[in-house]
Amino acid sequence: MEFGLSFDKILLIGVVAALLIGPEKLPRYAELLGAFVRRSREFLQGAQARVKEEMGDGFEDVDWRKLDPRQYDPRRIIREALIEEPTPVVAATAARAGAARPAAAPSRPDVRRRFSAAEPPPFDPEAT
């Protein structure tokens, strides 16, 4: 991982920390920092081992770059969704059900349709 810290930035932070802490307390704080880094490394290695254990054998085959949420651009996703041609729901449902009757023409929203046993309302099996 790259956090954008270069060696000169880390050195500058170390010099400022040494000046603020002082020469008496500096060895103790350096020891605490080292212990913190060791515990953090052990924690991360343990977490990685647990994830590998729970994911099983296919863990190494996962392409983690494809799952990175930073790669998704909402503008591109919306643009692609608007460009796609919508599939007619009634025709797709009738084709899936193997219905012999033709799909009903869409009615105007202000006209109330009445359905009967001969002509039931449209049904979308994917919506249930």
Taking residues 4-28, report their average pLDDT: 85
98 located within any domain: no
13 located within any domain: yes
86 located within any domain: no
Does residue 69 carry a pLDDT above 50?
yes
Average pLDDT over the chain, rounded to an integer: 78
102 located within any domain: no
55 located within any domain: yes
Count the domains in the chain.
1
28 located within any domain: yes
79 located within any domain: no
- pLDDT for 80 equals 81
Q: Name the DSSP letter for residue 107.
A: P
Helices (H), the chain: 7-21, 26-55, 74-83, 89-97
Q: What's the domain range around 46?
A: 7-61
Does residue 86 carry a pLDDT above 50?
yes
35 located within any domain: yes
Instruction: Name the pTM for this structure.
Output: 0.39
CB-based contacts of 96, cutoff 8 Å, min separation 6: 125
Does residue 51 carry a pLDDT above 80?
yes
Locate tokens 């899936």: which residue? 96
- pLDDT for 1 equals 43
